[in-house]
Structure 1
Amino acid sequence: MRFLRRSLMGVFLLAVTIAIVAIAANTVRTAVVARMNEEPRSFPQRERVLAVNVVTLTPQSLTPELTVFGELRSRRSLDLRSATGGTVLEASADLIEGGSVNEGQLLLRIDPAEAQAALDRVRADLQDAEAELRDAQRSLGLEADELTAAQAQADLRDQALTRARDLADRGVGTAAAVETAELAASSAQAAVLTRRQALASAEARIDQANTRLARARINVSEAERNVADTEVFAAFDGTIADVTVSPGGRVTSNERFAQLVDPTQLEVAFRVSTSQYARLLDGSGSLINAPIRVALDVSGVNLSAKGQITREGATVGDGQTGRLLFASLDAAPGFRPGDFVTVSIDEPMLDGVALVPATAVAADETVLVVGAEDRLEAAQVTLQRRQGDDVIIGIDGLAGATIVAERSPLLGAGIKVRPIVPGEAAEPDVPEMVTLDPDRRAKLVSFVTESRMPDEVKARIIGQLEQDEVPSETIARLESRMGS
């Protein structure tokens, strides 16, 4: 009996266990079927809208500004050199680095002893030449007198020959007397010829004396100039630089001992590319006198001056490119030759263009235009100039259009945006509101109440849920945590 009772109890427990398992399996199956038969929840999909800064393309006339770097030079500078060599006896107190001198001021005096001795020698030679000329002139006078006397003697001999021939014709004279008279006349003519040759020699001596005198005067002039060159004077008002001499030192002939620079006659030399140079030409191909501005930032103090382009370099130069241009400056206080400055050049004016940020134009020269329904469209533009962080573009057909000022990889054609005009306050995003049915509202309130949120957060969220319309973002966030 005991065995039977225990067997029946085991069978009963097994039947109860199988029944409980069957009920549990049926419950799970029913739940799965109900879940699968439910309609899936769908949340309203919201298109992503990006906020972008925009600018409006307004046609206008702009003057492009070309910025390059250049070096200041003085249009009037002079190397101070000693024309003669010698010991420096005296130097001006202003003959120092940076010294200011006036036109005609004595800068340097060299010992004139050697030059003065040379001058005295050539002056003595000049006196000899003058004495030689006077002696030649006296000799010329004597030779002329002797020629006159010889001519008179020849005339007398001719007269004697005539008388001898008359006597011979009348039979009074003899043939021997006639021959003697003829020989005497011939000798007198020979004497006249000799005196003429002597007179010509005297005249040639005078010419030689005059030439010698001219040479002597030239030598005296050169010697006087050498004496004068022992003193060096300032050719114009300016500033002294690169001084290499002092009193007591010795200089050689043609040695450069300093440089005189006029700091008021400044110009700037700068190099531009060939394309930039082409933009500075007029219709005839000549360089225009474009206005420029020169700036130099010295310890936070910005020095500036104005001027205009005057000329261009004749050659490009070995190993160089582009063109070397020169521009004269107006009043330029504070600038000095050798300063490295920034040069801004005003190019010819461009019409029908717009100035936009460089970030608005892509590498392929396209912009994103805000079209209908605030959707982006790609449009082609012409890049004219780059101006620092901005660019000048041609806007043919895009006048009045609104474009994106700052492009990013997230932006492209067809994307909807929310334009933000610079200077205007951005409108806050308006959240999408949803009206809840009572059951859904009760489930959400129950979830919030039973959650582990802080009390102040619970109060705030429940306050939102009790409103007629609730932000969709709040609903989606809570239901994602509920898991159903």
Structure 2
Amino acid sequence: MKRSAQPLVAAAVLAVGVAGVFAILAMRPTPEERPQVKRAPLVEVMSVEPGPYEFVVRAHGTVVPRREGDLVPQVSGSVQWVSPALASGGFFGEGEPLLRIDPADAEVAVESARASVARAQSEAQRARRELSRQRTLAQRSVASQTNLDDALNAERVAAASLREAEARRVQAERDLSRTEIKAPYAGRVRSADIDVGEFVARGTSVAKIYAVDFAEVRLPIPDSDLGFLDLPLGGGPGGGEADGPRVLLRAQFGGEEQMWEGRVVRTEGEIDPRSRMVHVVAEVEDPYGRQLASAGSGSSTPLAAGLFVEADIYGRRVERASELPRIAVRDDATVFVVNEDNVVRERPIEILRTQSDRVIVGGGLRAGERVAVGLSEVVVDGMTVRPLAVDPQSRAPMDANQ
């Protein structure tokens, strides 16, 4: 009897529990219904301030000397002296002696040539006197025409021999002066392969040198960027080198970023048919700071040959332009402007230049207007938004108007 009563008790407990749940649900308060509020979409905006703008075209290139060549002796002989500067990396001034060849043979040749000149001068004087005597005799009808012709021929031969002897003397003296090799310009030694006691032959290179008065950088420019620069497309600048566009060069040197300033001095003669690039040549004066050091003004970081640099070429200026992030400009050359009532309005603009991350706008925007640069939702013309001011450089929030 006890076992048959247990299911009835469990059922009764369960029924009481269910009834209690329904009672609690029936007594709960009804929630108050509130109207749903739809918030305006959040839009990042930046304030535009049109002003003067200078176009800059960026390029890369390698530094090379303006002039370089081989140091070649013009006479043969044994090396008698080598300048300490004639070593790899050595600097030298214009006209500075770099190498001396034993002048003994050249001195002998000079003395021999001078003796030949003296002999030729004596022969020429004798021939002139004989010609004068034969002319006098011919006027008296004492000498024959044949004798006069022979005297005239002898005088001309003697004069020619004198000129030849003088030319040989000049050549011998020039060869003597060439036994001392002087620097053709202020420069630096790239490499040298010569030492005292070695025999050098005429026309054999003994060193490679380059000038240090100017350095050049060959910069490739896309033809699409030519319109932003005042380049001397016909060759060199018409008014002189100072008229070329300003160039700022940058490179990592000595663990730090270094900068040098120069000018574009010329363009190369043709456009590369494959890359569509025009190569311009920028020039930097005194790349090693030698003139500053000699003037006691300290020394600048050297713009060494072979250094790879980044170049900013400064071009044309416009009186009024604005710079926007590229994300702010739509494909149809329009932007979204947020007015004083926080309403979005579509505005056409004049695009002057498009770059990888920014756009230069010439017209269509007024000073102080807010341009949408970041959309969290789909926005259309006439929509009310919540503008969030951002820094145009970092796009970090500056102030919110929510």
Deviation at 1:271, TM superposition (A): 2.5
The 5 A counterparts of 1:231-250 are 231-250=180-199
Which residue of 90, 101, 104 maps to 2:92? 101
Which residue of 211, 217, 228 maps to 2:160? 211
AA matched with 2:389 = V
Deviates more, 1:88-97 or 1:104-113: 104-113
- Once the two structures are superposed, residues 186-213 of structure 1 have per-residue CA deviations (whole angstroms, 9 ceiling, x without a partner) of xxxxxx5xx2321222022111111111
The percent of aligned pairs where both chains have the same amino acid is 24
Which residue of 116, 120, 124 maps to 1:129? 120
Cα gap change, 1:268/1:283 in structure 2, threshold over 3 Å: closer, same or farther? Answer: closer
Cα gap change, 1:418/1:301 in structure 2, threshold over 3 Å: closer, same or farther? Answer: same
Which residue of 70, 77, 83 maps to 1:86? 77
More helix as a share of residues: 1
Task: Work out whether residues 64 and 387 of structure 1, in 8 Å CA contact, stay in contact via their aligned partners in 2.
Answer: no
Which residue of 221, 240, 244 maps to 2:170? 221
- Once the two structures are superposed, residues 252-309 of structure 1 have per-residue CA deviations (whole angstroms, 9 ceiling, x without a partner) of 3223322443424334332322232233239999776322222222244122122333
AA matched with 1:101 = F
Which residue of 212, 222, 244 maps to 1:289? 244
Separation (CA, whole Å) in 1 of partners of 2:286 and 2:40: 57
In structure 1, the partner of 2:308 is 340
Which residue of 38, 48, 64 maps to 1:57? 48
Separation (CA, whole Å) in 1 of partners of 2:184 and 2:171: 21
Cα gap change, 1:284/1:264 in structure 2, threshold over 3 Å: closer, same or farther? Answer: closer
Deviates more, 1:99-108 or 1:385-394: 385-394
Q: Say which SS state the counterpart of residue 248 (structure 1) adopts.
A: coil
Which residue of 202, 213, 226 maps to 1:277? 226
Separation (CA, whole Å) in 1 of partners of 2:147 and 2:272: 69
- Once the two structures are superposed, residues 352-375 of structure 1 have per-residue CA deviations (whole angstroms, 9 ceiling, x without a partner) of 321122222234433233358645
The 5 A counterparts of 1:101-120 are 101-120=92-111
Give TM-score scaled by structure 2 length.
0.73
Separation (CA, whole Å) in 2 of partners of 1:144 and 1:99: 68
- Once the two structures are superposed, residues 439-469 of structure 1 have per-residue CA deviations (whole angstroms, 9 ceiling, x without a partner) of xxxxxxxxxxxxxxxxxxxxxxxxxxxxxxx
AA matched with 1:327 = A
Separation (CA, whole Å) in 2 of partners of 1:243 and 1:318: 39
AA matched with 1:81 = V
Deviation at 1:387, TM superposition (A): 6.1
Separation (CA, whole Å) in 2 of partners of 1:205 and 1:351: 84
Cα gap change, 1:81/1:396 in structure 2, threshold over 3 Å: closer, same or farther? Answer: same
Task: Work out whether residues 79 and 258 of structure 1, in 8 Å CA contact, stay in contact via their aligned partners in 2.
Answer: yes
The 5 A counterparts of 1:438-453 are none
Task: Work out whether residues 383 and 391 of structure 1, in 8 Å CA contact, stay in contact via their aligned partners in 2.
Answer: yes
Which residue of 239, 243, 257 maps to 1:302? 257
Report whether the alignment pairs 1:261 with 2:210. yes
- Once the two structures are superposed, residues 86-136 of structure 1 have per-residue CA deviations (whole angstroms, 9 ceiling, x without a partner) of 332321111011112233322111234554454455445434423432442
AA matched with 1:339 = L
- Once the two structures are superposed, residues 41-93 of structure 1 have per-residue CA deviations (whole angstroms, 9 ceiling, x without a partner) of 98744436432321123332222222212333444555422112333232111
Q: Say which SS state the counterpart of residue 305 (structure 2) adopts.
A: coil
In structure 1, the partner of 2:281 is 326
Cα gap change, 1:299/1:361 in structure 2, threshold over 3 Å: closer, same or farther? Answer: farther
Q: Say which SS state the counterpart of residue 419 (structure 1) adopts.
A: strand
Give TM-score scaled by structure 1 length.
0.62
Task: Work out whether residues 140 and 203 of structure 1, in 8 Å CA contact, stay in contact via their aligned partners in 2.
Answer: yes
Report whether the alignment pairs 1:312 with 2:267. yes
Aligned length in residues: 354
Deviation at 1:421, TM superposition (A): 0.8
Q: Say which SS state the counterpart of residue 314 (structure 1) adopts.
A: strand
Cα gap change, 1:320/1:86 in structure 2, threshold over 3 Å: closer, same or farther? Answer: farther
When Rg is computed on C-alpha atoms for both structures, the one with the higher figure is 1
More strand as a share of residues: 2
Task: Work out whether residues 252 and 258 of structure 2, in 8 Å CA contact, stay in contact via their aligned partners in 1.
Answer: yes
Task: Work out whether residues 102 and 238 of structure 1, in 8 Å CA contact, stay in contact via their aligned partners in 2.
Answer: yes
Separation (CA, whole Å) in 2 of partners of 1:357 and 1:317: 32
Separation (CA, whole Å) in 2 of partners of 1:281 and 1:256: 42
Separation (CA, whole Å) in 2 of partners of 1:305 and 1:395: 34
Structure 1: 5+ residue stretches without partners: 1-30, 32-40, 153-191, 430-484
Task: Work out whether residues 88 and 192 of structure 2, in 8 Å CA contact, stay in contact via their aligned partners in 1.
Answer: yes
In structure 2, the partner of 1:424 is 398
Cα gap change, 1:67/1:395 in structure 2, threshold over 3 Å: closer, same or farther? Answer: same
Separation (CA, whole Å) in 2 of partners of 1:130 and 1:107: 38
